[in-house]
Structure 1
Amino acid sequence: MSTDQFGSLAGKTILYTGAAGGLGLETTLEFLRTGAKVVAIDNDTTKIAALEAAAEGLPGLTVARIDMSDLAGLRSGLEALSEQVGGFDVVINNAAIYPSKPFEDFTIEEIQLIQRINVEAGIVCVQVALPHMKATGRGRIINIASVTFSGGWSELAPYVQSKGALIGLARAWAREFGAHGITVNAISPGAFPTDAEKIHPDLPAYEKRIYEHQAIQRRGSPADIANALMFLASDASSFITGQTINVDGGWVMH
Structure 2
Amino acid sequence: MISVADKTILYTGAAGGLGMETTLDFLRAGARVVALDNNPAKIADLARLAEREGLGKLMIRTVDLSDFAALRHELENVSAAVGGFDVVINNAAIYPSKPFEEYSLEEMQAVQRVNVDAGIVCVQVGLPHMRERGWGRIINIASVTFYGGWANLSPYVQSKGALVGLTRAWAREFGAYGITVNAISPGAFPTDAEKIHPDPEGYTRFVLDHQAIKRRGAPGDISNALMFLASDAAGFITGQTLNIDGGWVMH
TM-score (norm 1): 0.97
Task: Tell me if 1:31 matches 2:26.
Answer: yes
**Number of aligned pairs?**
249
Question: Which amino acid is 1:99 matched to?
Answer: P
Q: 1:61 aligns with which of 58, 63, 66?
A: 58
Task: Tell me if 1:42 matches 2:37.
Answer: yes
The 2-side partners of 1:180 and 1:149 are apart by 29
Do 1:190 and 1:247's aligned partners in 2 also have CA atoms closer than 8 Å? yes
* CA deviation vs aligned residue, 1:117-150 (integer Å, no higher than 9, x gap): 0000000000000000000000000000000000
4+ long deviations beyond 2 Å: none
Structure-2 residue corresponding to 1:115? 112
Structure-2 residue corresponding to 1:201? 198
Task: Give the C-alpha shift of residue 6 in structure 1.
Answer: 2.9
Partner secondary structure for residue 101 of structure 2: helix
The 2-side partners of 1:139 and 1:85 are apart by 15
Do 1:145 and 1:163's aligned partners in 2 also have CA atoms closer than 8 Å? yes
Gaps of 5+ in 1: none
The 1-side partners of 2:38 and 2:208 are apart by 33
Structure-1 residue corresponding to 2:170? 173
TM-score (norm 2): 0.98
Structure-2 residue corresponding to 1:73? 70
Task: Tell me if 1:102 matches 2:99.
Answer: yes
Question: Which amino acid is 1:6 matched to?
Answer: I
User: How do residues 127-166 of structure 1 correspond to structure 2 at under 5 angstroms?
Assistant: 127-166=124-163
Task: Tell me if 1:225 matches 2:222.
Answer: yes
User: Over the residues paired in the alignment, what is the CA RMSD in angstroms?
Assistant: 0.6
Task: Give the C-alpha shift of residue 202 in structure 1.
Answer: 1.1
The 1-side partners of 2:209 and 2:16 are apart by 27
Structure-2 residue corresponding to 1:6? 2
Task: Give the C-alpha shift of residue 13 in structure 1.
Answer: 0.2
Task: Give the C-alpha shift of residue 204 in structure 1.
Answer: 1.0
The 2-side partners of 1:27 and 1:149 are apart by 22
The 1-side partners of 2:208 and 2:60 are apart by 36
Partner secondary structure for residue 2 of structure 2: helix
Task: Give the C-alpha shift of residue 10 in structure 1.
Answer: 1.0
Gaps of 5+ in 2: none
Do 1:6 and 1:34's aligned partners in 2 also have CA atoms closer than 8 Å? no
Partner secondary structure for residue 88 of structure 2: strand
Question: Which amino acid is 2:50 matched to?
Answer: A
The 1-side partners of 2:233 and 2:2 are apart by 8
